[in-house]
Structure formats: structure tokens, C-alpha cells
Amino acid sequence: MHWPSNLRDALRHSKIMIQLLTPQYYESRWCMAEQNSMRAREQMLGLASLEVSQGLIYPILYSDSENFPIEEKERSWVDFKDVAHPDPVYQQSRKYLRFHTRVNNLAADLVRLANQVPPWRSDWPDVDPPEPPLMPPPQIPRF
């Protein structure tokens, strides 16, 4: 199984993209290839523009947004920062209800968005993702 090919095929057949925004997202060449592919599709369809604000990317802000690229700060996103707590104890707190409500609202948004997506086309653009970098072998400690 060649995972770059599987990733490309999955993206080409995806109706929408859920984008989990973190600073690390913009450091990943693979994430940028996915984003740029979906943006090219939006542009091809005239979506996420001045005329049609809705696009095919559903961005969710998960952590710090101070260091995001400027063009990303111009897009609207669903803010989950205040409910993004990985600690299992959080699930037992009263605040967890806000997270649960937010996820239910997100699911409803995604259903609405998926119902508005144009039919799949074989000519969807895709940006070539880079080959995974070759990692240098670990150094052998000298004794």
C-alpha cells in the first residue's frame, strides 16, 4: 500500500475538507498539499470568493492562531480553542457539555455543507504532495 497514492485518491474523492488548524498544520508539506488541492477546486468552482463565501474547506481552530499565515487569518473558522482539552478529566467536568454541544453543531454544519457540494468530477485539481523526506540514520553513540 502506497500511502501517498491513497491520500491523493481520498482527497480527490472527498466532498469537503475538515481542516484542524494548529501551528503545526502549516509546517506540514502534506497538509499544505491537501489545502492547496482543495483551494484549487474551490477556485475552479468559484467558491470561497467574494461572490460565494461558502467553500469546501471547513476550518476548525484548535490552538494558537497568532502565527498563522496572513491569508489564513482572513478566512472564518469555527473556534474550538476554549474546549480543546485533551485531559480525560475534562470529560467528567461540566464544561464538557459545551464541547459536546459544539460538536453537535459542527455535525449539523457539515451535513448542510455536504448537501451543497457539486457532484464529483474527474478533473478535480490536485497539488502534488512531496515525497516523504528521507530521514538520516540516527547517529551511533561513540563510547
Domains by residue range for the chain, with CATH: 11-116 (3.40.50)
* pLDDT tens figures, 89-131: 988 898 899 999 999 999 999 999 999 899 988 888 887 765 5
Q: What pTM was estimated for this model as a whole?
A: 0.79
Long-range contact pairs involving 14-20 (C-beta distance under 8 Å, separation at least 24): 14/38, 15/56, 15/114, 15/117, 15/120, 16/56, 16/57, 16/58, 16/110, 16/113, 16/114, 16/117, 17/56, 17/57, 17/58, 18/58, 18/60, 18/110, 19/57, 19/58, 19/59, 19/60, 20/60, 20/62
Give the tens place of pLDDT for each residue, 24-52: 888 888 888 899 999 999 999 999 888 88
